Amino acid sequence: MNGLYGLAQISPAILFTLFLWSILWKGLALWRAVKNDQRNWFIVMLVVNTVGILEIAYLFFFAKNKMKLSELKFWESK
């Protein structure tokens, strides 16, 4: 029960930022897994919550079409 008490002391802003970080990477990785027809990766990433770590590893190392860092630089003019 002591572990849950520590969670209550975390700032709501930090929790919300962590949530956004996680949902961004999860959505991106799930989309890529579907496009690459990698059903097993899709299922694992859907079920396991790793705060984006598994999703980032999939996108940059394990996907059929690996993501490049330049794809994340959406703010640069083309």
Three-state DSSP class for 10? coil
What separation, in Å, do the N-terminal and C-terminal C-alpha atoms of the chain show? 52
| Mean pLDDT of the region 41-66 | 89
C-alpha to C-alpha distance for 55 and 62, rounded to whole angstroms: 10
Q: Which two tokens stand for residue 42?
A: 């899709």
45 within domain boundaries: yes
36 within domain boundaries: yes
63 within domain boundaries: yes
77 within domain boundaries: no
The model's confidence at residue 77, banded by pLDDT at 50, 70 and 90, is low
Question: Residue 62: which domain range?
Answer: 2-72
Number of domains in the chain: 1
78 within domain boundaries: no
The model's confidence at residue 76, banded by pLDDT at 50, 70 and 90, is low
The model's confidence at residue 20, banded by pLDDT at 50, 70 and 90, is very high
21 within domain boundaries: yes
